[in-house]
Amino acid sequence: MHYLVTGHTGFKGAWLTLLLKAKGHDVSGLALDPEPGSLFDSAGVAADLKHDVRQDIREASQTASAIEKIQPDVVIHLAAQPLVRESYREPRQTFETNAIGTLNVVEAAGATTSVQALLVITTDKVYRNVNRVEGYREGDPLGGDDPYSSSKAMADILTQSWIKSFPGPPTAIARAGNVIGGGDVSKDRLLVDLLTHFLEGSPAAIRYPNAVRPWQHVLDCLNGYLVLVEALLDGKGLGEWNFGPGTDSFVPVRTIADLVASQWGEDAAWLDASATNDLHEANLLALDSTKAHDELHWHNKLSFDESLTWTVDWQKRVTREGLSPRTVSLQQVADFLDK
């Protein structure tokens, strides 16, 4: 199968490209240029692509032309402005990219006759968050207080409306939360901040040490997406789906910081910077993935401890042992598929 991944130059997109190639698929990508130091560049992901198109999904006609030229069998729409704090700094770009950009991709995929399945990726933050302990289920109300969350809720509702209103390929929506893994360089992400400071030998400042997050390895999340695509290709899998970790992964940020510091060693430390907070972020957000477990028979392969260890080990093997990011990433993909 020929997969088109929008947002392929990002963290999840780069790992997804490596995973798809390891499973024997052709992969093309459509995205903006990668961030400096990205996994996409450091792991040489461009070499794995059939087409590598640099295109802003806010441009409707160019996006449509690119997808028509690529002629993919499957489209996985990952491209987004993915950061909460960045959405406060750039609200218009966030809404245009996440809402209108999604509209452009969905419309273009529907007009491209080669497309047999479309998967739109949103987020756990599409749910109207009331900080309840129980995970949110697919039928719960959507919402979003910050520009990022509300823009992704808009993209989710937009996709649901498009499915009901216009003809097109079998389409599903996947919602997932925080993912961790080697090679991430995005701003304002906990593991990135911790490992960056530990590499520099300086303490990391943690803004929300008491916030509880469900932590999931990026390969487990992406594997859920691919299981859902297989269901779509088999005439199943329509609608909205959660892909989150089990309750053993619902861990406070301060606990993560302590564990990563311990695994890293070398006197790694962090500081409580909660007094400097000036922007809203949810204190607790969890998903109930029962539907994916029961109907798709999908489960996470990695435990919370394994997910954290794989992430820290990736960084250690690259920076301390001198292995290439591509070598370490491909080995982790192979190990994951073997589980």
Q: What is the pLDDT of residues 124-159, one digit of tens each?
A: 999 998 877 788 999 999 999 999 999 999 999 999
- Chain position carrying tokens 């995970």: 135
Q: Which domain holds residue 286?
A: 2-338
Q: What is the CA radius of gyration of the chain?
A: 19
Domain count, the chain: 1
CA atoms within 13 A on the CB side of 295: 16
- Record the pTM: 0.94
CATH classification of the domain holding 216: 3.40.50.720
The pLDDT tens digits for 39-75 are: 999 999 999 999 999 999 999 999 999 999 999 999 9
The pLDDT tens digits for 302-331 are: 999 999 999 999 999 999 999 999 999 999
The pLDDT tens digits for 55-64 are: 999 999 999 9
Give yes or no for a contact between 239 and 170, defined as CB atoms under 8 angstroms apart: no
User: Edge-to-edge, what's the strand order for the sheet holding 117-121?
Assistant: 52-54, 26-31, 2-6, 74-77, 117-121, 171-176, 239-243
Q: Mean pLDDT across the stretch 207-216?
A: 85
**DSSP 8-state assignment for residue 32:** P
